[in-house]
Structure 1
Amino acid sequence: MISARIKERYPTLSRSQKVFADFVLSDPVKMARVSIHAAVAEAGVSSATANRFVRSVGYRNYAAFRADLIQNLAVAYEPVDRLKQDMSQQMSADGIIGNMLREDVTNITETIASVEPKTWLAAVETIKKARRIFVVGFDNGAALAQILANGLLRTNPDVHSIVGGSGGFTGVRHIATMNEKDLVIAIAFPRYIKDTVKLASLARSRSIPVLAITDSHRSPLAATGTVNVFVVAHRQFGTVSNATILAVIEALLGAVLHAHPTTIRDAKIFAELSLPWIENP
């Protein structure tokens, strides 16, 4: 992403280049729409400064910088454009519901066909042998991560996830105490939350195994995965099918439970202890 490149090289920029960098970061949509002459006039810098800035952040010229900026914005706005197209079609409520449910069935079928058995086995084995597990996910991924973490607590008492108002810095605290005997499970789908990718990358840099649950090899999370589970999760009305991802998570939990030697004993203990909290009909 352009913003990440700018922030990475920001300390090395000159004062005038930082002024232009701040302008780019404050309104990338406007930057993509206007010429270099309009951009420098509004930012209050020279054209020479803008050209030196784009070379400093890795582009051969301003035209290449602007083209990449437009491409990045196109990716970000793709779900919006797709939604506009879908909303323009005349469809009944039951038609929409039926299409979305069939879409999830197709997603699951395609995921079953595309993920090799050795990948499922590697994912289960990685979870089984982990001493501690930290599940990372933000936005809708946070809810999915919490479901996965709750399920894994049935086989491992040392499982944690990002909860409540905690954020990336909390993740750093967890990862700072982990090593190669532990496991980070990261969940990220379009649109990919940067904190998830950054925490997974941090884990790999510390030789901590990463199980990445994402959509394809093109995902920025894929480069961090020791094991990658690619889930087909297309969604007509929306960015991604959380239902499909949840189905894969629950299937993975089922395989982990089946492989755990004390699952039946643990389930019996939990059933006995949970009785006072269950309201019978």
Structure 2
Amino acid sequence: MYDGDNLYNGRPLFRAAIMNSRSVIPLERVDGDKAQSVFDMVVGAAGCSTAADNEKLSCLRDLDYETYFNVTNSVPGFLSYSSSSLSDQPRPDGKTLTASPDIFANEVKYAAVPVIIGTLQGEGTFFSLFQANITTESDLSTYLNDIIYRDATREEITALIDAYPYNNGSSGSPYGTGTLNEQYPQFKRLAAILGDLESILSRRFFLATLPSSVPAWSFLATWDHGTPILRSFYTPDLPPIFYGTDAPSLAIQDRCISFITSMDPNNGIEYAPAGSKAY
């Protein structure tokens, strides 16, 4: 927010950040087509569609709490066909959030504080469960263009898909599973694309924009890799960080605590299973 100015009364609001899964994802403006369609859905569910444009907000504000709560939750969530095209993302307004975060990254308009940023290996599987009608490359192209990346050209979508060979379901996410876990044709391909663009590649992109003077550590985790279909999906890194008592959980907790106290996740760590060092 505020082009990276995190000062309040002359003091920084935070001195570092631990970020899991998502970071500099592209966002559409608050007056864009996506935001307008979400607003129209809420207005329709509330019975306010017949109100004049300048009275629709007043109509929503006059609703009782329970009705308002229900209509604002009637829009698609991430466990739906629209997947990572979320209804309730932050929207650049030209003032508080002046542009999309991916633009900020290129211009280093963010609070450049020390960070730990990590992702799961199979971030996209969770977002690819409800698109079973996608059975061909053409279906995949249409879905990505019409639902997820509506401002992209069809040529750009085609180039994106071409970077992820289908190989009869033997490649894609969840990775390293051969032809297993292909829940429908194009499932593993869609999961790879969404996982990369929403989490894994955006993490790498953000790290590449950080000034060399900013300390940064990154991880790629495989928690819950044995989960059927999803494997190392979105969110199973959180329980180990907050509640786990096994060695890998204690190792990540140790690194977070070390980072909080010394700004170095590898400083004085006690739990260090093989291959657990943060880089």
Structure 1 and Structure 2 fold alike (TM over 0.5):
no
TM-score interval, normalised by the smaller of the two chains:
under 0.3
Give the structure with the larger helix fraction. 1
Question: If you compute each CA radius of gyration, which structure gives the higher value, 1 or 2?
Answer: 1
- Give the structure-2-normalised TM-score: 0.23
